Every structure is written in C-alpha cells, then in structure tokens.
Amino acid sequence: MRKCLRCETYMVEDLSIMVSNGGYGIDIREKGLFKTAIEKIKCAVCPECGYTETYIENTDKIKKLLNKEK
C-alpha cells in the first residue's frame, strides 16, 4: 500500500482519473500521432490530508521505451 508523502497515512489506491464531462480517462502515450496507449494513469488519495498522486501500475512498456532510446 502507498503511504502519503505528507502525513504517512495509508492512501486509497486504484482510483480512476476522468476528464470532466467525458468518460475517457487519461493515459500515457508515446510521442507522435496515433500512437497506442502505454498505460492508464491511476490515482491514490490520502483520506486524511487529501494529498493526491498519480501512478501507473505496469512499468514494463516504459522500461522498453527507455531501452529503445539508448
């Protein structure tokens, strides 16, 4: 479980971020036109202080991109 960086309370994880008035969510993509999504962004929120952070669960595709750029 993630701990809040501010108050060290356990955070509520696996929440979705949605664009207001749209049901599409936000994802990570490679640079360029019409690239496929790498991973959906998820969110964790501290129930105590409200601190919010974003993260991706699977970092394999990001690691492959990093190796491809070398």
Which position has the higher pLDDT, 35 or 10?
10
Domain count, the chain: 1
Range of the domain at 48: 12-69
Phi, psi angle pair for 68, to nearest 5°: -70, -35
Flag whether 63 is in a domain: yes
Cα–Cα distance measured from residue 64 to residue 58, given in angstroms and rounded to the nearest whole number: 12
In a domain, residue 5? The reply is no
Mean pLDDT of the chain: 88
| 19-39: pLDDT as tens digits | 777 667 778 888 887 788 888
The Cα 54–Cα 41 span in angstroms is 6
